[in-house]
Amino acid sequence: MKNKTALITGATSGIGRATAHELAKHGINLILCGRRQDRLDTIQKALSKQTNVHTLNFDVRDKDAVFNAINSLPEDFKQIDILINNAGNAHGLDPIETGNLDDWDAMLDINVKGLLYVSKAVIPIMTERNSGHIINIGSSAGKEVYPKGNVYCGSKHAVLAITEGMRIDLNPYGIKVGAINPGLVETEFSQVRFKGDAIADNVYKGYKALQPEDIADIIYFVITRPAHVNIADLLVFCTAQASSTIVKKDI
């Protein structure tokens, strides 16, 4: 894996940050993306002892910013081997009839269109070399719709459809494409979903949720399979979770 370069979106927190730490351990060159530059700086400082790190600050909703950032990569980071489309969040948890339009825009613009913009900027680098690996972070919400999940679930169903479409269209180029779909992972996800409301603190109480490092570990496993093996789709729950709505809690 040394000499490989991975671009991770949403590297400032949760799954993306844990993945950056995991990949750095194995000497993979990293391009870390996010909007919070202070966090990118801190992570870069920590991981530069282990590998080469370049940071890109952009909002995935801003197409021009996405293309400018990726086109401006220094020579040493231009050959992206692995793209991890991880940036995303849920915004709100409301029934469809009272859903907030700004939340809907955010989820569709970030989780779906943002993923597409980043992919559009990176795919030519892969098709030109007839090699590459794209991992889209979907969700159990992409496989199952739950009450009040409406638009978030829709955005993640879209991620899975787009993943399949990418795998089909990029097949002639030998590019691997797959999705990893976690259930509940203890990150800043619920802080974002509930806009900092204290209700977010309860989401991971009374059971052991997946930790971001669990998903990072799986991502490393996926990218280190032999050349002829592509893990196309993975659903990962913590042991306490059986489905989106069934979680065995001690409280």
Regarding 92 and contact with ligand NDP (CB under 6 A), the answer is no
Cβ-based nearer residue to ligand NDP, 110 or 135: 110
**152: annotated active-site residue:** yes
Cβ-based nearer residue to ligand NDP, 132 or 142: 142
Regarding 180 and contact with ligand 8X3 (CB under 6 A), the answer is no
CA separation for the pair 75, 85 (Å, rounded): 22
CA separation for the pair 12, 34 (Å, rounded): 6
- Tell me the pairing of strands 241-243 and 246-247: antiparallel
Regarding 150 and contact with ligand NDP (CB under 6 A), the answer is no
Q: Measuring CA to CA, how many Å separate 162 from each of 91, 113, 115, 152?
A: 21, 11, 9, 15
CA separation for the pair 31, 39 (Å, rounded): 14
User: Which of the choices ligand 8X3, ligand NDP, none does residue 158 contact, using the CB cut-off of 5 to 8 A by kind?
Assistant: none
Q: What angle (nearest 5°) sits at the alpha carbon of residue 136, between those of residues 134 and 138?
A: 165
Regarding 141 and contact with ligand 8X3 (CB under 6 A), the answer is yes
Q: Are 134 and 176 in contact (CB under 8 A)?
A: yes
Beta-carbon contacts of 218 under 8 Å, excluding residues fewer than 6 positions away, are: 180, 234, 236
Cβ-based nearer residue to ligand NDP, 11 or 158: 11
**204: annotated active-site residue:** no
Regarding 16 and contact with ligand NDP (CB under 6 A), the answer is yes
Regarding 69 and contact with ligand NDP (CB under 6 A), the answer is no
In the list 27, 52, 59, 99, the residue contacting ligand NDP (rule: CB under 6 A) is 59
User: Which of the choices ligand 8X3, ligand NDP, none does residue 47 contact, using the CB cut-off of 5 to 8 A by kind?
Assistant: none
Residue tagged active-site, from 4, 117, 143, 152: 152
Phi/psi zone of residue 233: left (φ > 0), alpha (ψ -120 to 50 degrees), beta? beta
| Residue 39 DSSP SS3 | helix
Q: Which residues of the chain form contacts with ligand NDP (CB under 6 A)?
A: 9-16, 34-36, 59-61, 86-89, 110, 114, 137, 139, 182, 184-185, 187-189, 192, 212
Active site residues: 152, 156
Q: Which residues of the chain form contacts with ligand 8X3 (CB under 6 A)?
A: 90, 139-141, 149, 183-184, 244
